[in-house]
Structure 1
Amino acid sequence: MRSCSWIQGPFGKLVAERKKPVGLQASGSSLMLARRRGHVPDGLEVISPPRTLANKEKPRERTVTEKKSLLQQRRESLGVCFTDKEQSARVLNDVPSAEAFIQSAPVTVVGFLQDLKSLEAEAFSDVAQKLKRLSFAVTYNTTVWEKFNISRSTITLFKEFDEGRADYAFEEGHLKPNVTKIIHFLRHNELRLVTEYNPTYAGQIFGSGVPTQLLLLVSKTSKEYQPLFDKFKGVAPEFLGKVIFVLVNTDKKENRRVTTFFKVKEPDLPAICLFHVETNAAKAMKVSEISPGVIRRFYTDFIGGIEEFLQDGPSRDLKLQPWETFGNPMIAPGSGKIRDFGGHR
């Protein structure tokens, strides 16, 4: 049987056993230093140092560039396109993966890009970072481009409703695309032509960046509802990007705040109302018939009063031309803007 013992050295414990002939049978800075200082007596042979954190060689710290490169390689191997930012977009390498992605959510955004390092790709990444609630993907595959009739670098918003898709084609040139313009395009087009008001969609309506909302206040159980709604929706494409069309079902108790805000009473229904986010100006009109001409005139008169108010400054009362209106056109009181006519601030 071997006779072993533990000996404390300057770099931790060393294991030693008694052996003949006398002398050390190992080398190394730790062992030599221990021998010089008398920590290893004659007649002992150092077998090996124990494997501890103290004597393990620390790995070299990778540079930031190396870390990013390794992370990019790993993410690309998983089929995902990543930028230096946190937001990511899936890479669609074939038609089945593209179709599956588009069907994965009511609204999806696909970047049909030619080059990962192009200015268009950089702009697409910035947009994806700022609109995190939407699902983004990117494709460089020509077969996928042909499937969706894409011929140039384009951002396409796919949706399960209304017209089904909206395309934003990048302008030819070497200037970086306008990220703000793209964000506005996506915000406008992710909404339905007519969005039914409820607390869930309130943030989306008021966060769209569109300054004016046109509301149809009507009971969905009334005989007027369907013909009014169909004509209301039919006018909406003409005002896309300028006005958000909103349906308010007056049958719901939680929507009474909306009718109260516009000073609309039961006998006044159905009605259409205009609301301007920046000034909190509001105007209401009782309707029995909706047509493009009626909407245009109502909107034109309303915006004309807003423009006069903005030119003259807030010290002047907002005056809108009365045109088959009831209630008083007004600037809502208070210094803060109303973010939701339903009472949500």
Structure 2
Amino acid sequence: MWTPPPPPPPHLRPAPGVATDTEDSTEDPGAVWGPVWLTDVQAAVDFVAAAEVTLIGFFQDLEMPAVATFRGLAPDFQDVPFGMANDSEVLRHYNITGNAISLFRLVDNQQLNLEDQALAGLEPATLSRFIRTNNLRLVTEYNAMTVLGLFNTMIEIHLLLLMDKASPGFQENLATYQTAAKLYQGEILFVLVDSGQKDNGKVVSYFRLRESQLPALAIYRTLDDQWDTLPISRVDVEQVKEFCGGFLAGKLLREDGKSEDTSPKEEL
């Protein structure tokens, strides 16, 4: 569903000992399948800015077992660029004092770290879960892995599009939703909820919506559980702006603007 990020700038080169799969790949000759070696601060800054989510291994000790785990997992996340650095200036720039693996996401300008203690005996499954749990984008699909990241983000207001991914016109509506998301980057987190998935019925019921009212937008503030909903026929940028603007201004379409549901937020 997601468009892969563009290749890194030309001055970025593969990390030592990591080959690129340019000869064998027929789909994307410019793709980098291993971590990219970040030689200075500017290279690291450019790398982080080039994609919605990036991962950098800051390793002062390139022989530690976590390095092999990090390198080996890169091909499993072709939509998340992996980088490596051990230059002291680069580590200082990102406040790394030892060894760390950091996930950077543009949507809320966060740097999430796995540091020395967590890197000891690091298993691929542990690192994979760290990435999948915190992999928030301009539009993040709601699922069991991303829900924790959604409620750990600094962005308190979430806009949900509840729509069946198998419905006609879904891709067109998603593209419009992504366009609207760019207008609220850092202010409102845009979430996609596939209403065609049985497990997501709890989200629909949380917002007191019926299947006949879908697709719909639901806006939610984590600070006080205030929320509002708007059934729609299709996603329209101006309609999204009006709905979000009204909520931010304290105007609710519903009479009751606060949920009576006392279940943990993670259970949405």
Fold similarity call, TM over 0.5:
yes
Letter paired with 1:247:
L
Distance, in Å, in 1 between the alignment partners of 2:139 and 2:224 is 23
Letter paired with 1:103:
A
Letter paired with 1:193:
L
Match of 1:10 in 2: none
Letter paired with 2:222:
V
Letter paired with 2:239:
V
Report deviation, 1:290. Answer: 2.1
Report deviation, 1:230. Answer: 1.6
Question: Are the counterparts in 1 of residues 161 and 215 from structure 2 also a CA contact under 8 Å?
Answer: yes
Report deviation, 1:234. Answer: 2.0
Letter paired with 1:272:
L
Question: Are the counterparts in 2 of residues 194 and 245 from structure 1 also a CA contact under 8 Å?
Answer: yes
Question: Are the counterparts in 1 of residues 195 and 201 from structure 2 also a CA contact under 8 Å?
Answer: yes
- Alignment of structure 1 residues 240-251 onto 2, 5 Å: 240-251=185-196
**CA pair 224-181 structure 1, distance change in 2 beyond 3 A:** closer
**CA pair 114-332 structure 1, distance change in 2 beyond 3 A:** same
Match of 1:120 in 2: 93
1:109-134 Cα distance to aligned partner (Å, 9 max, x none): 6576863597525x134894xxxxxx
Question: Are the counterparts in 2 of residues 196 and 248 from structure 1 also a CA contact under 8 Å?
Answer: yes
Name the Cα RMSD after superposition.
3.7
> Among residues 158, 162, 174, which one is paired with 1:213 in the alignment?
158
> Among residues 207, 215, 219, which one is paired with 1:274 in the alignment?
219
- Alignment of structure 1 residues 176-325 onto 2, 5 Å: 182-183=110-111, 190-305=135-250, 320-322=251-253
Question: Are the counterparts in 2 of residues 197 and 248 from structure 1 also a CA contact under 8 Å?
Answer: yes
Distance, in Å, in 2 between the alignment partners of 1:300 and 1:250 is 25
Tell me the matched-pair count.
183
Question: TM-score of the superposition, structure 1-length normalised?
Answer: 0.44
> Among residues 51, 71, 74, which one is paired with 1:103 in the alignment?
74
Question: Are the counterparts in 2 of residues 277 and 338 from structure 1 also a CA contact under 8 Å?
Answer: no
Distance, in Å, in 2 between the alignment partners of 1:277 and 1:126 is 34
Distance, in Å, in 1 between the alignment partners of 2:242 and 2:226 is 17
Distance, in Å, in 2 between the alignment partners of 1:194 and 1:182 is 16
Larger radius of gyration: 1
Question: Are the counterparts in 2 of residues 213 and 275 from structure 1 also a CA contact under 8 Å?
Answer: yes
Report deviation, 1:250. Answer: 1.2
What is the DSSP-based 3-state SS (H/G/I as helix, E as strand, rest coil) of the residue aligned with 1:340?
A: helix
**CA pair 338-330 structure 1, distance change in 2 beyond 3 A:** farther
Distance, in Å, in 1 between the alignment partners of 2:167 and 2:90 is 56
Distance, in Å, in 1 between the alignment partners of 2:172 and 2:152 is 29
Report deviation, 1:299. Answer: 0.8
What is the DSSP-based 3-state SS (H/G/I as helix, E as strand, rest coil) of the residue aligned with 1:284?
A: strand
Letter paired with 2:266:
D
Structure 2, gaps ≥5 residues long = 1-56, 63-67, 113-130
Distance, in Å, in 2 between the alignment partners of 1:281 and 1:127 is 41
Report deviation, 1:292. Answer: 2.4
Question: Are the counterparts in 1 of residues 74 and 82 from structure 2 also a CA contact under 8 Å?
Answer: no
Question: Are the counterparts in 2 of residues 283 and 328 from structure 1 also a CA contact under 8 Å?
Answer: no
Identity, in percent, stands at 21
Question: Are the counterparts in 2 of residues 102 and 108 from structure 1 also a CA contact under 8 Å?
Answer: no
Question: TM-score of the superposition, structure 2-length normalised?
Answer: 0.56
Distance, in Å, in 2 between the alignment partners of 1:337 and 1:209 is 21
Q: Whose relative contact order is higher, 1 or 2, with alpha carbons under 8 Å and at least 6 apart?
A: 2
**CA pair 328-92 structure 1, distance change in 2 beyond 3 A:** farther
> Among residues 59, 68, 71, which one is paired with 1:90 in the alignment?
59
What is the DSSP-based 3-state SS (H/G/I as helix, E as strand, rest coil) of the residue aligned with 1:294?
A: helix
Distance, in Å, in 1 between the alignment partners of 2:90 and 2:241 is 45
